[in-house]
Structure 1
Amino acid sequence: MAYKPTTIEELWAIKGFTPNDSQRDAILHIDGPLFLTAGPGSGKTRVLLWRTLNLIVFHNIKPEDIFLSTFTEKASLQLKDGLRTLLGIVTNVTGKPFDISKMSIGTVHSICQSLITDRRFSEGGARKNAPILMDTLSQYFKIYNKHFWAELWTAGGFADDEIAQNAITKYLQGREINSRHLAVTACIALFNRFSEENLDPKTIKTSDVVLKSLLKMYEYYLNSLQLNSYTKQVDFSLLQLEAYTAIQNFANSGNVFKHIIIDEYQDTNAIQEKLYFALSSGSKNICVVGDDDQALYRFRGATVENLVEFEDRCLTNIGKKPKRIDLDINYRSRKKIVDLYTHFIEQTNWENPKKLGTHFRVNDKIIKAHSSDVEPSVIVSTRDKAENVYKEVAQLVFDLKRTGKIKDYNQCAFLFPYLKGSTRVTGFSDAFEELGIPVYAPRARSFVQVDEAKAIFGLMLKIFDRPHYGNTSSQNLIQFRNWMIECMSYADDLMKEDNLLKEYVTDKKAEIKVALEDYNLLLNLINKKKWDRKEPFKISMIRDFAETPKLSIKAKKNLTNSYFKTVVELKEKDNKSYSIDYIINRTTSLDWTILDLFYQLNGFRHFRDMYLLAEDGTDEGPICNLGLLSQYLSRFMDEYGTLLTASFLSEEKFVRTFFASYIYALQRLGESEYEDADDPFPKGRVPFLTIHQSKGLEFPVVVLGAVFKREQAADQKEIIVRSILNKEGEPLDKISHFDNMRMFYVALSRAQNLLVLPQYTHGSAATEIFKNIFSNYPLHKIPDFDLNKVPEAALVKEDLGKSYSYTSDYLLYSKCPRNYMIFRKYGFVPSRSQTMFFGSLVHQTIEDLHHLLINQRNKTTA
């Protein structure tokens, strides 16, 4: 008979988990609102998982009655995997299965999508139509579209695009620039903020002329999203508003969920706060967890006051004050690291002068280290000119690897306030290059500049040719044209080294040429016959098409195969005939997509070697870049379709769409310093990350590459929203300082074993607080530091557990381990021809190479 645990403590014993008092109280809290302050490394994710398990297993709360939200897709996946693993333990010992497929668990955006169509939020249980969600890139392309942009600035009352773009950039960014790209990105940021604040542009009165125009543009944008009486588009911000509206329109919405649990609450915005309180208005069971000292997303509308003032806001909105529990023990870092970052954050005055006794920070937090190791774990470089600091720190990393303190270079992360255009990033990169240590920083410059991207795009440019602009004075276009030429030159070098690759490119160019020739021949035919391309294609036309002089054998086969004839005949009988234009496109389309082409190119020697480096663990950097490339190419196909027809390829339409529009936009959009892409940390390379990217992560060794970020004036969006809503918040003149403090706090708290700070003598050396720390805080310098004081970095283990799928994991791995490595580990997006990629191209060539190496080895040992 299976052993059946009767208490959660017995499950803790099975899992080997011993919660501290605060964690225990949080997990066992069942009724009423709960406020969890969670310092760095305090085990908040584990607490959330065990608390959710406690509700499901020991209090009979159905998974579908729980709303569990977190900030990023990565954190969402961690929660799902962790919860499935813990519930799996219960199933193993009790035999009772648990199904969380209907549970509202994920990012707030993913949950909002399901809420809109959830029958529980409609009278009579009717399902609503789901809106069409535009992701960030789709939203950009919609507004950047030349025709729509003209409609938009016209709605705003501007005389022409130049006047509009100059006025918008000056008003929102403080600099007058005639740039559609900058004006569009500025408008998107403002529109998103308006949506997050639930602002109705028709009701806002203002004497500000430019703001009036922007509100009219926002109103036009909102109206453009209603495609018809049944269907509408939404962006990410409006998706939340749509879900909130659905909840507001249903009287019993506060009782649908029995428990509302929100992770990373410091990163929530105004509309999310409304959403969460509305959902918990009936049950009163809302649990929020977060750390205001790690609030980094103000630029996206996040309102740290949601967390700081949660106790009062909870009382106001649902009539109950929450129980506060502080998760205040850090299990991540050695004691001296915890001491340093707690000292750092306390160097700023967080008091609110307008409300006596209140603060702009959760008060009375005391973060303690679980570690009792009092050996030095925070060190600084020698105070010197930048070039010498870079070399000294790089040598330290080399020595850490040489002495076994880190097993791989990817266990030492370099964190920067921003990557693009940073002289610190360039300096450290050069210092590592001198030592022969590779770095991984795909976002330190535009991603299209990394070698793997230049190789792939260069070969594609050789196949498709590049768009031609003629004479242009635009520096951005000139730079992009130069980039394309540089990529093509790179491709020429690769083809000189690999004749098979050269032949392949020649063959692909020939395929395109034939398709275009066929297309023109068929156009000439319909012009001669005086057919309208939109009229129905009839079975009787097949002979005229197939017998077109000089038409290729491939096109004739497409037109004369029996299946095609049967389909055309059936369509004609049902009065649903294809158009002539459709038949021309079908006949002259290529039988491969842009993603197929990517995978075919990956089978040649230059790229094949990258897979081998990843497979033996030498260097995963190149293959990680290729994985990102596959995602960008897949995204293009989602936006513009998969087929490469001759019509699309003619008159530079494809190259203008793919290169001059899509890739050019990626290059321009990549200028943002804020990155939260789920980039990997490949073996064999030192990762360079923005501090924003590092949030939620931890590394055995952390080097803070820069200890200075200039404080800026308050963002214009914040000023606009406050003036419209007449709402208070952190003082406008303090916002930049507070945000910088929180950003550096996040960086300082990522380190487990060793934290390294640079001391520069020139340029933007350090903020005043870092200068004071360097002068007055007891720190060891690198030359005086004994590496033996550093513990050896432990191998990363799945602390919370990971669930595996029979079909997505086991079967994929058993079919081809290399296939599994590519798609599951490195995030490649499969094409429809992935079987060709692994079955007959890359898989085979790598296997051939293995056999060649084995044969050579046998000959050597014989």
Structure 2
Amino acid sequence: MTTVAPPAPVSLPDFYAALPRLPGGTLPLSADQRRAVEHDFALPLWVIAGPGTGKTHTLVWLTLKRLLVDGVPPQRLMLTTFTRKAATELRTRLIHGRQALVDAGLRGAGKLDLSQVMLGTLHELASDVLQRERYPETLRVRLLGDELTQQFFVRRTRNPLMDCDDLKFWQRFSMCKDSDVFPPNKAKRAEFAGKLFNRMTENSVDLGLMRASGEPHFILLVGAYERYLHDLHAGHRTDQSLMQRHFLEYLKSPAGQAWVADGLTVVVDEYQDTNPIQEEIYFTLAGGRGDLTVVGDDDQSLYRFRGATVEALTNYDDACQHFLGRKPAPLYLTENRRSHPQIVAWVNAFIGGHPEMNDPVVRVRAPGKPPLVARADVSGTYPAVAVVAEADNPTAAGKVAGLVADLVHGGLVSDASQVALLTFSTRESTQGIGAYTDAIRAQGLEVYNPRSKQAHLDARALALVGAFSVLLDPDYAPVNLVAPLPRGVPEYLVKARTAFQDLLDTGRHDDLWDYVVNSQEAVRQSTIDPDWPYLTRTGKQGEVTLSSLLFKLLSYEPFASDLRDPAIGERLKALNLILAEYEALFSDGRIKLAPHPGGGAQVDGWTLYNFYSVFVEGFHDGLNDPEDAEASLQPGMVNVMTIHQSKGLEFEVVIVLRPDRQPFVSDTHQLEDEFHAFSQSPTRPARRRTQDERAAEDTIRLFFVAYSRARRLLVVAGQLTPDTAPAWDRVMGGAYASGLIRQKNDLTTLGAHPL
């Protein structure tokens, strides 16, 4: 790659003079943001940025200042963030900021080549650097791109944990209940194995120490992990977590040390979601110069279940002292430019009032953190924070639906997509939020719920799976298969095949049925070649794969039109992506043939069994729908999403549903305790807080994120009974919420205050 020389540095006064001005003619940086931008990096920078305080805005101008004023070469600046979507947003805003400087006539801005900046998630950047530097461990290696693909690999390679029938082993790591009498099924074992392996990698677990403990469960786990590493190496594959380990190994090698020695400027966004191995990577990248900026908010740390440790941010000063021999410069962004003053007052009272968030020994929050200050151009005397608390969910749902209808039909919001229903789980069931989504649809409003975990039950997705099954296995019966299917899969296949038949019974899809029948006949009439017993096209013009069959099915109606539907289309695409990953691990999707008892050929029994027990089960086991990386919202549709999914977004109206549904003590908290003795980190807390305390932290941070998404109206809605009262007390902040909450009846005044 050709490297373009960076433009000659400009002065800081010239940089400020060229900054584009916001409406009203004020400089688009607060005093605290300016201090961040002007930092001289004699010390590392530690930026704590609360919700709505312009974190991304600050990052953009800080980065442009480093490039244009400080003269950092673009190819030596690394800017990382937690998700691809956030990276795309940063890249777009950097481009727009650069263009604004060009339009303002800043000398050298037009020559700044932002394409040379290393910008992306750490996984992406690690992969890019390792490929560019031709690191042997990652050359010509295929990445297991997600958790489901990793599970397919664990099953395909028959990891020892797949055959672990020791119930006590699984119970120890909270991966089945103490009351269970049987160990997890194969699919769950693969899921749990992947989780265990990922945590061992991300926490840099010392395998020698774990084995030396002498505990049989740890010895078994070490052996299974080492087997997993061996199988990955033999199969020329790696996973997301191990890509980071490879990167750290490279950085510590002579070649990596030489690369770092040239000087890197490292800027890390969403640092509260960092895990121990990432923490070490960032400090190794920064080298002895310590040109390191971390930006985040401990109160918005949501990803403990993925291995994140909020202590990386709250104890960042200890890490700097450990790795660099000096403390960082702390800086707080507190001016909230998003929310109504009542909402800002509410979130301040909520996060600061919980005793669980204050500990005299362990830093649960960043030290000396000031409250948010309301600076948004949002006003009005209406009650901006309200509660709908009813004796049952259907009653609460009816009131919520009426409120949403009033807002949308009354023109109080410009579009239904400015209303967001946020919840712990978006599963639309009687035990979930089904009453609320049903009530809103009954008001004539559309709901967009891309994380409902209902993709596998969508009528079209079911029909597509059913069509696939009927095509490959016209004589399907569980007793005909070579081995029993996992629990739930036979029933799911019956639903899928029935959904396909229901589609055909409409009488509008004869061409689809003709294709399925003709394909069945083509299989039956195939000649089995002993040297290559796989299904081929007529005249042996290439192989027939599972993906090619799926593409053909998708070309027929109604599936072809469904692909253009924002909800159904994404579900069908998800099924296609999962199939592609399945094919990569199971015979490249080839369809092996075997003799049919009645003459001719049929699909081989083990091919069918793997298709059903691995691919179909993977889809049927509560798959999350994908979220489009470019457009999370659909115009004209009320948004339903998990609180996790809402992070980084804002809405005019936020309604938090089912406050009684909260994080709980889980395998995540148990794994933290189990692996604590075998991993080291300079930010590891001096005292291990209990699992209950950490689960409480997770709940409080989760609802803090939910509440702080709202610009003009925040509503908390659900069932309030003696049983749910303790949960409500936590999400209401206990006594600290008094005086800040109005009942739903007061919302009638909203008509005079358009949102």
Give TM class, smaller chain. Answer: 0.7 to 0.9
Scaled by the length of structure 2, what TM-score is found? 0.85
- Aligned-pair identity in percent equals 24
Aligned letter for 1:82?
R
The 8 Å contact of residues 19 and 101 in structure 2, kept in 1 or not, is answered as no
* Deviations, residues 30-69 of structure 1 (Å, cap 9, x unaligned): 4231111000011111111111111222332221100100
User: How far apart, in 1, do the equivalents of 2:361 and 2:137 lie?
Assistant: 48
Is 1:98 the equivalent of 2:98?
no
Aligned letter for 1:427?
A
Structure-2 change in CA distance of 1:5 and 1:716 (3 Å): closer
Is 1:233 the equivalent of 2:233?
no
Structure-2 change in CA distance of 1:246 and 1:5 (3 Å): closer
User: How far apart, in 1, do the equivalents of 2:371 and 2:710 lie?
Assistant: 19
Aligned letter for 1:363?
G
Aligned letter for 1:769?
R
The 8 Å contact of residues 350 and 736 in structure 2, kept in 1 or not, is answered as no
Question: SS state of the match for residue 9, structure 1?
Answer: helix
User: How far apart, in 1, do the equivalents of 2:448 and 2:615 lie?
Assistant: 24
Displacement of 1:196: 1.0
Could you tell me which residue of structure 2 aligns to residue 370 of structure 1?
Answer: 375
Equivalence map 1:184-199=2 (5 Å): 184-199=190-205
Is 1:113 the equivalent of 2:127?
yes
Could you tell me which residue of structure 1 aligns to residue 548 of structure 2?
Answer: 593
Could you tell me which residue of structure 2 aligns to residue 392 of structure 1?
Answer: 399
- Name the stretch that deviates more: 626-635 or 426-435: 626-635
Equivalence map 1:301-316=2 (5 Å): 301-316=307-322
Aligned letter for 1:323?
A
Structure-2 change in CA distance of 1:220 and 1:790 (3 Å): farther
The 8 Å contact of residues 152 and 582 in structure 2, kept in 1 or not, is answered as no
Structure-2 change in CA distance of 1:477 and 1:777 (3 Å): farther
* Deviations, residues 771-813 of structure 1 (Å, cap 9, x unaligned): 5369723322222211235543xxxxxxxxxxxxxxxxxxxxx
Displacement of 1:299: 1.6
Is 1:731 the equivalent of 2:689?
yes
Could you tell me which residue of structure 2 aligns to residue 851 of structure 1?
Answer: none
User: How far apart, in 1, do the equivalents of 2:712 and 2:552 lie?
Assistant: 45
1:453 to 422, 441, 461: 461
Is 1:700 the equivalent of 2:680?
no
User: How far apart, in 1, do the equivalents of 2:592 and 2:299 lie?
Assistant: 56
- Name the stretch that deviates more: 510-519 or 637-646: 637-646
Could you tell me which residue of structure 2 aligns to residue 267 of structure 1?
Answer: 273
Aligned letter for 2:729?
E
Question: SS state of the match for residue 445, structure 2?
Answer: coil
Equivalence map 1:20-59=2 (5 Å): 20-32=30-42, 33-59=44-70
Equivalence map 1:548-563=2 (5 Å): 555=538, 558=539
Question: SS state of the match for residue 85, structure 1?
Answer: helix
Structure-2 change in CA distance of 1:624 and 1:411 (3 Å): farther
Is 1:81 the equivalent of 2:92?
yes
Displacement of 1:750: 0.9
Structure-2 change in CA distance of 1:736 and 1:724 (3 Å): same
Question: SS state of the match for residue 117, structure 1?
Answer: helix
The 8 Å contact of residues 344 and 745 in structure 1, kept in 2 or not, is answered as yes
Is 1:683 the equivalent of 2:644?
no
User: How far apart, in 2, do the equivalents of 1:130 and 1:282 lie?
Assistant: 32
1:503 to 511, 515, 518: 511
Structure-2 change in CA distance of 1:166 and 1:440 (3 Å): farther
2:623 to 670, 675, 685: 670
Structure-2 change in CA distance of 1:699 and 1:264 (3 Å): same
Is 1:242 the equivalent of 2:246?
yes
User: How far apart, in 2, do the equivalents of 1:430 and 1:72 lie?
Assistant: 32
The 8 Å contact of residues 624 and 682 in structure 1, kept in 2 or not, is answered as no
User: How far apart, in 2, do the equivalents of 1:80 and 1:218 lie?
Assistant: 37
Question: SS state of the match for residue 183, structure 1?
Answer: helix
Aligned letter for 1:748?
Y
Could you tell me which residue of structure 1 aligns to residue 598 of structure 2?
Answer: none
Could you tell me which residue of structure 1 aligns to residue 709 of structure 2?
Answer: 750
User: How far apart, in 2, do the equivalents of 1:106 and 1:455 lie?
Assistant: 38
Displacement of 1:635: 4.2
The 8 Å contact of residues 677 and 693 in structure 1, kept in 2 or not, is answered as no
Aligned letter for 1:718?
E
- Name the stretch that deviates more: 489-498 or 341-350: 489-498
The 8 Å contact of residues 205 and 675 in structure 2, kept in 1 or not, is answered as no
Aligned letter for 2:678?
I
Aligned letter for 2:55?
K
Question: SS state of the match for residue 555, structure 2?
Answer: helix
Could you tell me which residue of structure 2 aligns to residue 621 of structure 1?
Answer: 567
Displacement of 1:456: 2.6
Could you tell me which residue of structure 2 aligns to residue 60 of structure 1?
Answer: 71
Displacement of 1:758: 1.7
User: How far apart, in 1, do the equivalents of 2:406 and 2:706 lie?
Assistant: 23
- Name the stretch that deviates more: 303-312 or 704-713: 704-713
- Name the stretch that deviates more: 439-448 or 87-96: 87-96
Structure-2 change in CA distance of 1:13 and 1:434 (3 Å): closer
Structure-2 change in CA distance of 1:53 and 1:776 (3 Å): same
Displacement of 1:199: 2.1
Displacement of 1:360: 4.3
Structure-2 change in CA distance of 1:100 and 1:485 (3 Å): same
- Name the stretch that deviates more: 319-328 or 82-91: 82-91
1:761 to 720, 727, 730: 720
Aligned letter for 2:274?
T
* Deviations, residues 550-607 of structure 1 (Å, cap 9, x unaligned): x99x83xx4xxxxxxxxxxxxxxxxxxxxxxxxx5x4563798144224302xx2576
Equivalence map 1:599-618=2 (5 Å): 599-601=554-556, 604=557, 608=561, 611=564
- Structure 1: runs of 5 or more not aligned: 154-160, 527-531, 535-550, 559-583, 615-619, 793-862
The 8 Å contact of residues 161 and 193 in structure 2, kept in 1 or not, is answered as no
Structure-2 change in CA distance of 1:138 and 1:211 (3 Å): same
The 8 Å contact of residues 419 and 425 in structure 1, kept in 2 or not, is answered as yes
Displacement of 1:128: 7.3
Could you tell me which residue of structure 1 aligns to residue 597 of structure 2?
Answer: none
Equivalence map 1:395-474=2 (5 Å): 395-420=402-427, 423-465=431-473, 468-470=477-479
The 8 Å contact of residues 68 and 105 in structure 1, kept in 2 or not, is answered as yes
Structure-2 change in CA distance of 1:683 and 1:165 (3 Å): farther
User: How far apart, in 1, do the equivalents of 2:588 and 2:752 lie?
Assistant: 56
Displacement of 1:139: 1.5
Displacement of 1:445: 3.4
Q: How many residues align?
A: 704
Structure-2 change in CA distance of 1:162 and 1:221 (3 Å): closer
Question: SS state of the match for residue 317, structure 2?
Answer: helix
- Name the stretch that deviates more: 451-460 or 731-740: 451-460
Structure-2 change in CA distance of 1:647 and 1:745 (3 Å): same
Equivalence map 1:631-646=2 (5 Å): 631-636=577-582
The 8 Å contact of residues 21 and 28 in structure 2, kept in 1 or not, is answered as no
- Structure 2: runs of 5 or more not aligned: 1-8, 595-601
User: How far apart, in 1, do the equivalents of 2:591 and 2:636 lie?
Assistant: 42
Structure-2 change in CA distance of 1:692 and 1:770 (3 Å): closer
User: How far apart, in 1, do the equivalents of 2:167 and 2:664 lie?
Assistant: 26
Could you tell me which residue of structure 2 aligns to residue 483 of structure 1?
Answer: 492
* Deviations, residues 336-371 of structure 1 (Å, cap 9, x unaligned): 11111111111222333337xx65444332211113
User: How far apart, in 2, do the equivalents of 1:27 and 1:343 lie?
Assistant: 30
User: How far apart, in 2, do the equivalents of 1:167 and 1:698 lie?
Assistant: 43
The 8 Å contact of residues 593 and 642 in structure 1, kept in 2 or not, is answered as no
